[in-house]
């Protein structure tokens, strides 16, 4: 996959973005709606807002992890070799796409990858 070195048009905006949490495979806000600002340390500008997870969010995340662990077809039931091959494939994909991932991470904080 080729990496485009140009910044995406969406990166040109100075408007802060809104991040979300991933719990049980779903993108969600904090249960109580609280957020906090993510500030660029270089210039002090707010670049994003993120959910401020609380007790209920932790409980939801733990319950989702428990369900995933108990899933008979899930990761926990895979043989060690299969898990190892999957992690190696993931590592290769990260290495192959590291420039694009770094660009996305640094320029599009909180924006979903589409």
- Which of the four pLDDT bands, split at 50, 70 and 90, describes residue 16? confident
Structure token digits, residue 26: 């779903």
Higher pLDDT, 16 or 86: 86
In this model, does residue 2 exceed pLDDT 50?
no
pLDDT above 90 coverage of the chain, percent: 49
Q: What is the mean pLDDT of the chain?
A: 82
pTM of the complete model: 0.59
pLDDT of 22-60, one tens digit each?
999 999 999 999 999 988 888 888 888 999 999 999 999
């Amino acid at each position: 996959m080729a990496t485009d070195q140009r910044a995406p048009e969406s990166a040109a905006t100075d408007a802060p973005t809104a991040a979300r949490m991933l719990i049980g495979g779903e993108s969600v806000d904090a249960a109580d709606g609280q957020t906090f600002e993510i500030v660029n340390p270089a210039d002090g500008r707010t670049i994003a807002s993120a959910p401020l997870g609380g007790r209920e969010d932790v409980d939801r995340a733990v319950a989702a992890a428990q369900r995933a662990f108990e899933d008979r077809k899930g990761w926990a039931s895979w043989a060690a070799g299969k898990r190892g091959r999957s992690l190696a494939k993931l590592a290769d994909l990260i290495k192959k796409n590291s420039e694009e991932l770094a660009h996305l991470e640094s320029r599009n904080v909180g924006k979903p990858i589409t």
